[in-house]
Amino acid sequence: MIPVFDALNSIEAHAIKIHLIGNGIDARVGGDYLQGAMGELPALGIVRVFVNEKDEIRARRLIRELRDDTVDDDSWIPPELR
């Protein structure tokens, strides 16, 4: 298997994994248990999502589409609560 995504944390990695599996791609998360060993040091780049080499291009496209669809502003918050 090859890495296709470096996650910020275990939660993000598993969300990507679930998305890929839901689209028919076998995916695994590696390095998520290493976060606990890092203590308070930044543990960026150690949690990765892996797929079979034959699925790499499709997996990267699905990840890109998922990230492009993610709301990263406060447009979802009702105006009266902003």
Per-residue model confidence as pLDDT tens digits over 30-41: 988 765 555 555
User: Per-residue pLDDT tens for 45-74?
Assistant: 689 999 999 999 999 999 999 988 766 677
Q: Determine the Cα–Cα distance for residues 34 and 4; give it in Å rounded to an integer.
A: 18
* pTM for the whole structure: 0.74
Residue 80 has pLDDT above 70, yes or no: yes
42: helix, coil or strand?
coil
The confidence score (pLDDT) of residue 41 equals 55
The alpha carbons of the chain give a radius of gyration, in whole angstroms, of: 15
Within 8 A by CB and 6+ apart from 48, the residues are 3, 5, 6, 7, 13, 29, 30, 31
Instruction: Note the CATH number of domain 2-62.
Output: 3.30.70
